[in-house]
Structure 1
Amino acid sequence: MSTDAPVVFEELPCESDRVIGLARLNAQRSLNALSLPMIHLLHEQLTAWAADERVACVWLEGAGEKAFCAGGDIVEMYRSMTPVGERNAFIEDYFASEYRLDHLIHVYEKPLICWAHGIVMGGGMGLMQGASQRVVTEKTKLAMPEITIGLYPDVGGSFFLNRTPGKTGLFAGLTGVHLNAGDALFMGMADVFIHAERRDAVLSALQALSLSGDAATDHALVHRLLREASPQETPASPVREHFDDINRVCDGATLVEVGEALLHSKGYSDWMQRAVSTFERGCAQTAWLVWEQLRRARHLSLGDVFRMEWIMSVQCAMHPDFREGVRALLIEKDGAPQFRYHKPEEVPVGYIDGFFELPAASHPLADL
């Protein structure tokens, strides 16, 4: 495949006569943001590799040093926007395709390594979190910053943010806080830390493994190799350092109580102030969506999570705040979104319920 393709695929030979399937997001100018063609290419190739007996392992990475994947193609979504209240065919197809790909990665039987180097946000988190081995480096910067644009932490966020320690998932969703490699490890959103300079050596060592095509055996071999490549010391985690404070301020019985506690916690540290300031400037609609998605998804299956999120995402595109947030931060870049509601207590009772109502006659992810 041409190196100009939005996703580059290679098959690296192993000493055991198996191959490693390598997929590289190749849109450096947009920080490897996921376009719909990229999603389709990844889904098609991962499906083919899953059925190919020669392929024992998959490696997923992003081109360049800046980002693994900085999110979805929000700009193209904005361009496709229909009048408020109307359905949008492009957005419905985009989210259905993206979530189907994310689900495939979560249930992939062969070892799938995500080399999450650089920026990992939004749609990049969706690709990363389902991988069987999530590798972070000293340059990794993770976030689910949807509070700033009127969306919410989708791509399975309802699933993986509910599985972080204490209230850290809720805190990350409400504040869009930037997380380093140490945070990702502490929160269970990464599996192993490896210095970025060791990337080529790790790939070469993978090729030298006696990969057999037996999934259980190969998973164990890959697991051990990556741990051997990890140094004893990993980056410090600000989330771990603030764990007690996060649990205390996010333990309110209602979102309004949590919001008030967050605002009162700004003086705890500079790190806390930066995180809470994003919440303070953010979209109240998103804050409620975060609160409700985590509450409603607590006991849902993975398939049910993606079905719920497709409904939420399509509804966000039918409401005004999402398009206003994208306009202000990514299109006109005035940095001053005029959200419909500015504080959680201003959002009318029952308003958020509409974001969980299926807007179509049938669900495109019914088969997951």
Structure 2
Amino acid sequence: MTAPVLFQEKPLASQGRYGVATLNQPAKLNSLSLDMCQLLTDQLTRWEQDPSIAFVIFEGAGEKAFCAGGDLHQMYASMQQNAGKPAADNAYAAQFFAVEYRLDYQIHTYSKPIICWGHGVVMGGGIGLMAGTSHRVVSESSRLAMPEVTIGLFPDVGGSWDLNHLPGRIGRFLAATGAILNAADSLFTGMADYCVRHADWSAIIADLERVDMAQTAGRRQLDQHIHEVLTQHSAAATLDAGPLQTHYALLSALCNNRDISSLYRAFAALADHADPWLVRAAQTMLKGAPLSVALGLTLQERALHLSLAQVFQLEYNVALNCCAHGQLQEGIRALLVDKDKNPQWQPTSIEQITPAEIDALLACPWPSAADSPLADLGQVRI
């Protein structure tokens, strides 16, 4: 049986090695499973402790995706088995989100450079892996998004932090609509750092292998060497402005609205816009779960002054509560199980959502915060 993540260690020209982690589920667009998250966690820990490993590269097998999100089928089964039970009783969900969020936090705080080759589809859990890497690279065919509204979840894996730090509060639009960013808009928003052509990736690897570790003094200089290699191959100048950049003034003005119902209506009105990209974004929101929209926007407000570790802890509580609420189960059913693409959302409209319902989803499902599996996040190194 082929391993779901492949690990290689390759030599550098002068001294030392670098690690390559390849997500190896191309038929599933490299969607993350619990096993994959644990394998990545363990190997990253070993590489971080190995002084001969200079840097790490993330990539996805196949030509279509780096990572299209999480593998939701087992999550769906766990929700069926735990229907009507308290959120904390879902052992699989509790373990999956704990391992995934710890991995994402580990990447954000990693002591060595990580280069993420975000070629093709990068969505949901793929964004969680990519966002914390030190050198986020897209290709001309990359498509980035946080489309959790379509399944009744919210932009998790640190999305409440990452989207919050984009310019012009534009993360509110991305959370509500699941809008897809091309390479140009990924650079414009800051969700990616470099764009290189897919055809040049092998040449970039060859140049990275020539980095002289004997002449490199410390992390900062190594980061700079990697930056110079990626910049030398940059294709950013060949990209036309993306649709988000084109409509940035409009979207940023809309995102200044703090009232969730008003903001929902403003985004909904884009369904009548002349630009099909805005139309698709609005329609995605309108077909998605109203509660997911409200939850994603509320989390960005709540997370504004939290540390990264606190954001993951908060998202962990909400993710488990979403598994018990029933909406996420319905979203997965409609999209991946029955595939009727006709989810019956509850509540059915943004106006029906009450503050009490949001507060219930934000609440800690454990007897106390100290009982959470992520209670120590930020206090100890993974």
TM (norm. structure 2) is: 0.94
Residue of 266, 277, 301 corresponding to 2:283: 277
Aligned to 1:83: 83
SS in 2 for 1:266: helix
Residue in 2 aligned with 1:178? 180
What letter matches 2:345 in structure 1? F
The SS at the match of 1:265 is: helix
- Residue 372 (structure 2) aligns with: 363
What does residue 45 of structure 2 align with? 47
1:67 to 65, 68, 88: 65
What is the CA RMSD across the aligned residues, in angstroms? 1.2
Deviation for aligned residue 1:354: 0.7
Contact 1:145-1:173 within 8 A present in 2 as well: yes
Residue 203 of structure 1: aligned partner: 205
CA distance in 2, matches of 1:159, 1:252: 19
Q: Does 1:224 align with 2:228?
A: yes
Please list every run of at least 4 consecutive aligned residues from structure 1 whose deviation after the TM superposition is greater than 6 angstroms: none
Within a 5 Å distance, the mapping from 1:183-262 to structure 2 comes to: 183-211=185-213, 212=216, 214-231=218-235, 232-262=237-267
- Shift in Å, 1:181: 0.8
2:284 counterpart of 1:286: no
Query: What CA distance in whole angstroms lies between the structure 1 residues aligned with 2:206 and 2:238?
Result: 23
In the alignment, the residues of structure 2 paired with residue 349 and residue 20 of structure 1 have an alpha-carbon distance, to the nearest angstrom, of 49
With the length of structure 1 as denominator, give the TM-score of the two structures: 0.97
Q: Amino acid of the residue matched to residue 187 of structure 1?
A: T
Secondary structure at the aligned position of 2:356 is classed as coil
List per-residue Cα deviations over 1:309-343 (Å, max 9, x = no partner). 10010000010111000000111100000011122
Three-state SS of the structure 1 residue aligned to 2:168 is: coil
* 1:183-213 C-alpha deviation (Å, 9 max, x unpaired): 1111110000000111111111100111347
User: Which residue of 112, 115, 122 maps to 1:113?
Assistant: 115
1:30 alignment counterpart: 28
Measured in 2, the distance between the counterparts of 1:295 and 1:151 equals 17
* Cα deviations by residue, 1:281-314 (Å, 9 ceiling, x for unpaired): 1101101111111000001111001000100100
**Secondary structure of 2:136's aligned partner:** strand
Match of residue 169, structure 2, among 148, 154, 167: 167
The alpha carbon displacement at 1:235 in A equals: 4.4
In 2, Cα distance between the equivalents of 1:189 and 1:48? 28
- SS of residue matched to 2:9: strand
CA deviation after TM superposition for structure 1 residue 266, in Å: 2.4
Deviation at 1:251, TM superposition (A): 2.6
Question: What CA distance in whole angstroms lies between the structure 1 residues aligned with 2:154 and 2:374?
Answer: 19
Q: What per-residue deviation string (whole Å, max 9, x for no partner) do you get for residues 232-255 of structure 1?
A: 323431100011121233332310
Q: Secondary structure, in 3 states, of the residue corresponding to 1:68?
A: strand
Matches within 5 A, 1:314-333: 314-333=320-339
CA change 1:53–1:89 in 2 (3 A) is: same
Partner SS state of residue 155, structure 2 = coil
Say which SS state the counterpart of residue 366 (structure 2) adopts.
coil
User: How many percent of aligned residue pairs carry the same amino acid?
Assistant: 42
Structure 1 range deviating more: 77-86 or 9-18 = 77-86
1:85-112 deviation digits (Å, cap 9, x = unpaired): 4330000000000000000100111110
8 Å contact 1:250–1:262 — kept in the other structure?
A: no
Gaps (5+ residues) in structure 2?
378-382
Structure 1 window deviating more from structure 2 (81-90 vs 147-156): it is 81-90
Would the aligned equivalents of 2:168 and 2:255 in 1 still touch at CA under 8 Å? no
**Counterpart of 1:125 in structure 2: which amino acid?**
I
Determine if the alignment matches structure 1 residue 265 to structure 2 residue 261.
Answer: no
